[in-house]
Amino acid sequence: MTDEPDALTVLADGLDYALLSSPDGLTYVLRCKSESLTARLSGDDASRLKADYQTIREQFPNWAADQTLAQLWDQGGYSWLAAEEHGNGDAC
């Protein structure tokens, strides 16, 4: 896998947050656009994010992308894994 933004698939995209995945599903990127922060997850963290995302989507199917991703970011604790974005931040 490369770290090129075009190698990622957008799974959910809102005004404030975005969730992207590598084609093989082994890496996820959770972005907080308003704060220019990105959490790049792989291994056990990626597996946990995938499971958490699916659970929230099942529990709240009518939530918009920003609601779902904000829940992951804040309550899921993924903001602790985030770092500042480099470049123009247009990875989505």
Phi then psi dihedrals of residue 11, to 5 deg: -95, -35
Q: What share of the chain is helix, strand, coil (3-state, %, to 5)?
A: 40, 25, 35
- Separation CA 54–CA 56 (nearest Å): 6
Instruction: Report the chain's mean pLDDT, rounded to a whole number.
Output: 89
Confidence of residue 87 (pLDDT cuts 50, 70, 90): low
In the block, which residue shows the tokens 């975005």? 18
Q: Is the pLDDT of residue 36 over 50?
A: yes
Model pLDDT, residue 86: 72
Q: What is the pTM of this model?
A: 0.84
